[in-house]
Amino acid sequence: MWVSTEQSPLPRPETRLYLAADVGNNSTTARLNTPNFEINTNITVFYCLKHFILAYLLTLLTNNVPQELIQHLVYTYRIRLPFFVDLSRPAEFSLNHTINMYLTSEDGISLGVWHTVPASQWKEAQGKDLSWYQNTLSDGNPVFIYLHGNTGTRAAPHRVGVAKVLSTLGYHVLVPDYRGFGDSTGEPTEAGLTTDALYLYNWVKARSGNSLVVIWGHSLGTGVSTNAAVKLIKQGEVFDGVILEGAFNTARISHISNPFTWYYWKFPGTGYLFPEPWANSKVEFPTQENLKKMRSPILFLHAKDDHLAPIQFTQEMYEVAVSAQNAERVKMVAFDESLGYLHNGLYEDPHLPDIIKTFVQSL
């Protein structure tokens, strides 16, 4: 079923959606395997420059230095953006019924994750620890895992906006930063992001009892979501439901560059001296092929004016998903271009809560 939101244009909200509970400064932070990372711009820039100069001198002084060492010195030291953001304090982003935690998806990989409880529990959540938050996952309310798009962190305004919409509806929301994103450790790769998503899903399932667990992928996160869904099917399990917002179709892109190049601090010209560290890490995210194998109910959400993921490509993926299942299990809602949501603004739509609630009730 294709549903369009074509309508007389509604005025866009002048302010972001905030809960009535978004007052005060209380928040709880739990640390599991906390990464030893501290943002300090002066130190970061100093180390970047120091190691670049060292690598450059090595190339002048000798031809016998291992290329891998030089590559490491040039590329590994990078700057994380934005500066001066403390992701361990979600209350600073008006999420004061949210806990921050760090989970280990693989040896050496620490993932920063926010867990926001339903808005109705915000008063009770004040001052609570990780154990309390974990126990709430089995309270019968649906649980959403939000897999965000490329670049940035879980604190991006549109990601916080989605968490608030879902919390207002009475759902739990877990928002991770994949490896290499935000304050999570490790290097981002397609396989790594898929592993992170599956780890968090299994972590939630082990604590959520019979509660529904729904995956919401946005942009790059749609590729991660469908990758994880296919891997889960091989284990004899399916997601309870999947929402794909701003999905992109790599099958319709003749050449796709590695989406993780932002991760590396790259000085101008170094690409001519050393091979790119992502050169041997092919990125595919075969969403269209994955949709042929998926058996979960799917809801596509897409803005007609999405400038990054053209809606015609998403329409093709929707039709592929319907062919693999049926029009009762696969839905699509398109938002009119007059609303101006582009790639990140769907969370502002006043009809979105009802759309999400209807989908959840159908699961």
Q: Which residues are catalytic?
A: 219, 306, 343
- Is 145 strand, coil or helix? strand
Q: Which helix (H) or strand (E) covers residue 322, if one does?
A: helix 311-324
Residues with Cβ within 8 Å of 62's Cβ and at least 6 positions away in sequence, in order, are none
CB 135 within 8 A of CB 118: no
351 sits in the region (left: phi over 0; alpha: psi -120 to 50; else beta) called: alpha
Tokens of 352: 């979105």
242 exposed, middle or buried (CB, 10 Å; 0-12, 13-18, 19+)? buried
Q: Which helix (H) or strand (E) covers residue 160, if one does?
A: helix 157-168
Q: Of how many residues is the chain composed?
A: 363
What gap in Å lies between CA 120 and CA 169, rounded to an integer?
9
- The secondary structure of 234-284 as a DSSP string is HTT---SEEEEES---GGG-S----TTGGGS---TTHHHHS--TTTT----
Residues with Cβ within 8 Å of 177's Cβ and at least 6 positions away in sequence, in order, are 87, 111, 112, 113, 148, 153, 154, 183, 184
Going by C-alpha positions, the residue among 162, 169, 278 that lies closest to residue 221 is 162
What gap in Å lies between CA 266 and CA 349, rounded to an integer?
38
**Angle at which helices 220-234 and 190-205 pack, to 10 degrees?**
60
Residues with Cβ within 8 Å of 112's Cβ and at least 6 positions away in sequence, in order, are 87, 88, 100, 101, 102, 154, 176, 177, 182, 183, 184
- Is 349 strand, coil or helix? coil
